[in-house]
Structure 1
């Protein structure tokens, strides 16, 4: 299982050291850019689910292209 943690900067070193001492846990920090990309993808997937459920309205691709 993979898990992403959002840890306060002042507590990050402690939590990382704690996790590294657990033999069954592999720690691999990611860059702030990659974290933002993952959050953006997560928001996009949630928005797509809402569109499919009919809870929000989608914007047609033609309208998006016309704005460019």
Structure 2
């Protein structure tokens, strides 16, 4: 059986570790990175570009035509 603990505070983690060790459990740490760093960089750059006026405005019709 697997038990998953999420959002454990760093100060509480040693308590869980010692408890698991005393009970003979195996601890596997997985630090999730939900987004690709390159993707995040592109999104942030796009937001910056829009704020600096480097974006374009399109009507819904133009967008539909572009997607055809």
Q: Same fold (TM over 0.5)?
A: no
Report the TM-score range of the alignment, normalised by the length of the smaller protein.
Answer: 0.3 to 0.5
TM-score normalised to structure 2 length: 0.40
TM-score normalised to structure 1 length: 0.40
Bigger helix share: 1
Computing the radius of gyration from Cα coordinates, the structure with the larger value is 2
